[in-house]
């Protein structure tokens, strides 16, 4: 997966792509598939995949700036199927949602960095 974003740029990329890997570990560029497009909002940043293949993606925008709008995709964690269907959205009340990581005793806590703060969410991995 590649978080392709050109945030703070008018008309920049704000997409999540998936690529297949060859047996030798190199990327098959012809396999490129669009997973999700944040359109005119802030694009994806950090992401993690759970054991079932769901993607937890930090992205979106809380406030408006001259380049991006929160009208369609607000700042938070986007839970996507591997095909890119939005299963769940968890809004984070501060801007610049930047990364996610699984942790906790049972690995069922999602830690989220945003706006210089750390959040935790219980997830049913």
8 A C-beta contact, residue 59 and residue 78: yes
Instruction: Name every residue whose Cβ is closer than 8 Å to that of residue 57 and which is 6 or more positions away in sequence.
Output: 3, 16, 36, 44, 45, 46, 47, 77, 78, 79, 80, 100
Q: How many CB atoms lie within 10 A of CB 22?
A: 9
The distance in angstroms from the start CA to the end CA of the chain is: 19
8 A C-beta contact, residue 115 and residue 101: no
Instruction: Name every residue whose Cβ is closer than 8 Å to that of residue 36 and which is 6 or more positions away in sequence.
Output: 15, 16, 44, 57, 78, 80, 84, 86
pLDDT digits (tens, 9 = 90+) for 21-52: 999 999 999 999 999 999 989 899 999 999 89
pLDDT above 70: percentage of residues in the chain: 99
pLDDT of residue 63: 79
Considering the entire predicted model, what is its pTM? 0.91
Q: How many CB atoms lie within 10 A of CB 38?
A: 22
pLDDT of residue 125: 56
Give the phi and the psi of residue 55 in degrees, each rounded to 5.
Answer: -105, 135
């Amino acid at each position: 997966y590649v978080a392709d974003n050109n945030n703070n740029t008018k008309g920049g990329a704000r997409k999540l792509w998936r690529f297949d890997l060859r047996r030798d570990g190199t990327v098959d560029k012809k396999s490129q598939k669009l997973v999700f497009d944040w359109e005119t909002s802030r694009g994806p940043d950090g992401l993690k995949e759970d054991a079932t293949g769901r993607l937890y993606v930090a992205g979106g925008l809380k406030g408006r700036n001259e380049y991006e709008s929160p009208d369609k995709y607000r700042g938070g964690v986007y839970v996507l199927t591997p095909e890119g269907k939005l299963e769940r959205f968890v809004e984070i009340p501060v801007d610049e949602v930047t990364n996610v990581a699984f942790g906790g005793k049972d690995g069922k806590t999602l830690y989220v960095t945003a706006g210089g703060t750390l959040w935790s969410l219980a997830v049913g991995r």
